[in-house]
Amino acid sequence: MTAQILFSDEKRFDLDGMYNRQNERIYAATHDEADEKGAVHRKTKFPTGVMVWLGVCYEGITRPVIIENGTIDTNRYIADILPVALKDGKQMLDNEFIFQQDGATPHTAKETQQWCKILFFDFWSKDRWPPNSPDLNPLDYCVWNELCQHMNWSHVVDKQALINEIKQGAKKIQIEVVRRSVTSWTNRIYKMLENEGNYLF
């Protein structure tokens, strides 16, 4: 079953790049020393950014859909994202694949659910995905991080450069990494059940 699922997710990227304070440690005696070593991370108050949608399955990843201005509402989701999910999903998995989307409002809207019911071979309806599930989507627990690691953030000086790096970074993600992330999904389901639905880590 897992081999026929197209997982999907959205993420915001901005000019400040990516920083994970849980995974990065720098030891220093003073604040100034920490700053010199890169531990003091400053974020722009209103950073320039874009919203990115991506789909991932055992056979690879879709084209990234980049929303340059505003947010992803129901109309944009149906007009700009779902057709890419349908076309790229068919190219990678043939016609009989299952489309996964989380419980975001544009995904659960009546119009979206109807679109998916008519055009996808199968999809997970709004009641089938847990409300809090970052541990269950390969994009959340692997692929987004891979994309960020493959981007050259020193080149990201404006919005267009950010978009270019997102597109180039997506092309560099290795299929072996994608497949490992997708095949680990089943084990994560069992672990979540053992953990009574709570976060895995």
The C-alpha torsion from 112 through 57 and 120 to 193, rounded to 10°, is -70
Question: Does the pLDDT value for residue 190 go beyond 90?
Answer: no
Give residue 136's pLDDT: 83
pLDDT tens string 160-177:
999 999 999 999 999 999
Question: Does the pLDDT value for residue 118 go beyond 50?
Answer: yes
Cα–Cα distance measured from residue 161 to residue 15, given in angstroms and rounded to the nearest whole number = 9
Which whole number is the average pLDDT over 37-54?
A: 68
- The segment with the largest mean pLDDT, out of 73-82, 123-132, 190-199, is 73-82
C-alpha 163, offset from chain centre: 15
Cα–Cα distance measured from residue 44 to residue 166, given in angstroms and rounded to the nearest whole number = 20
Structure tokens at 83: 């057709």
Question: Does the pLDDT value for residue 19 go beyond 50?
Answer: no
How much helix, strand and coil, in percent to the nearest 5, is found in the chain?
Answer: 45, 15, 40
Main-chain phi, psi angles of 125, to 5 degrees: -70, 175
Phi-psi map region of 94: left, alpha, beta (phi>0 left; psi -120 to 50 alpha): left
Predicted confidence band at 97 (pLDDT cuts at 50, 70, 90)?
very high
Question: Does the pLDDT value for residue 7 go beyond 80?
Answer: yes
Q: Contact 64/53 with Cβ under 8 angstroms?
A: yes
Cα–Cα distance measured from residue 138 to residue 70, given in angstroms and rounded to the nearest whole number = 26
Task: For residue 3, give the DSSP letter.
Answer: G
Main-chain phi, psi angles of 57, to 5 degrees: -145, 180
Cβ burial of 177 (10 Å; 0-12, 13-18, 19+) is: middle
Domain boundaries, the chain: 2-194
Predicted confidence band at 33 (pLDDT cuts at 50, 70, 90)?
low
Is pTM beyond 0.85 here?
no
Question: Does the pLDDT value for residue 42 go beyond 60?
Answer: no
Q: Contact 31/40 with Cβ under 8 angstroms?
A: yes
Looking at domain 2-194, its CATH class is alpha beta
